A and B are shown apart, each in its own frame.
Chain A
Amino acid sequence: MDEALKTLSLAASGMRAQSTRLRIASENLANAQTEGYRRRTVSFAVTMEEGAAWPRVSGVGTDQRPLRQVYEPSHPKANKQGYVISSNVDPMIELADIRQASRSYEAGLASFDQARRIFARTLDILKR
């Protein structure tokens, strides 16, 4: 009984971590064309508590890779050589990240639902 309730919050904490990751990846994607924007990264870690491994977001960092330079002489912010400093976001990476995050989120949702069913099933014994 207790186990099923714990599973619910375990699955929920995994889903929370994944949705943070999803949000950050969408932020990156939305700022792919923003001048001087540095891509943000999410890192996960685990906390041992109550005999279980609880996932959480351990920090949000910035990607230190060099910013992209785009040749666009007509742009108001172009330098003398005609280059504009863009972001260091690679849309392909962000899309893959979003895919992975939503896949893991769905798996978490499935195990949440399963724990709920197990709980309901145990409760059924009391009902009759």
Chain B
Amino acid sequence: MENLAILSLASAAARHASYRQSLAAANIANADTPGYRPVDLPVFSVDRGVPLRETRAQHVPLGGSAGLVPGLMVEVLPDGNAVTLDVEMAKAAEAELRHDLATTIWQRGLGLLRMAVANR
């Protein structure tokens, strides 16, 4: 069952990367919103996985943004906005690569499983 562990790890990593890219996109979309501070996710780790969050209005409030950390702030503009476009673009590109990596591992893991089943 080693392979199944790989699959769940890969899918958690993919979810993490996708969420991080979404946060970067939100930061980019708010690049000119007064008072907006960028948000980020902590680095992916096996035991932490993807943090809990509210995705529906009916969900129990988690007390603000659970699991999110403040993003890197290079400078704060006079209107209070602290988004740096290039930092966010780099973050989003990294997240995309990590998502690629995770989905590739997922596919390979599945391939191994298939091979094992086919040889029975």
Q: Which residues of A contact B (CB under 8 A)?
A: 1-4, 6-7, 10-11, 13-15, 17-18, 21, 43-46, 50-55, 100-101, 103-104, 107-108, 110-112, 114-115, 117-118, 121-122, 124-125, 128
Contacts and interface: CB of A to CB of B under 8 A. Distances in A.
6 contacts: A17-B29, A44-B34, A45-B34, A46-B30, A46-B36, A54-B29
Contacts of A50: 54-56
6 A-B pairs closest in CB distance: A14-B29, A111-B25, A7-B22, A3-B18, A44-B33, A7-B25
Given A46-B36, A50-B55, A118-B18, A10 B29 contact: yes
Interface residues of B, number: 36
B61 to A, nearest CB: 11
**Majority SS at the chain B contact face:** helix
Interface string B23-50: 0111011111110100100000000000
A51 B25 contact: no
Interface in B63-97: 65, 85, 88-89, 92-93, 96
A14 B39 CA distance: 16
A114 B21 contact: yes
> Mostly helix, strand, loop or mixed at chain A's interface?
helix
A11 B27 CA distance: 9
Contacts of A53: 26, 29-30, 33, 36, 39
A125 B107 contact: yes
A115 to B, nearest CB: 6
Nearest to A14: B29
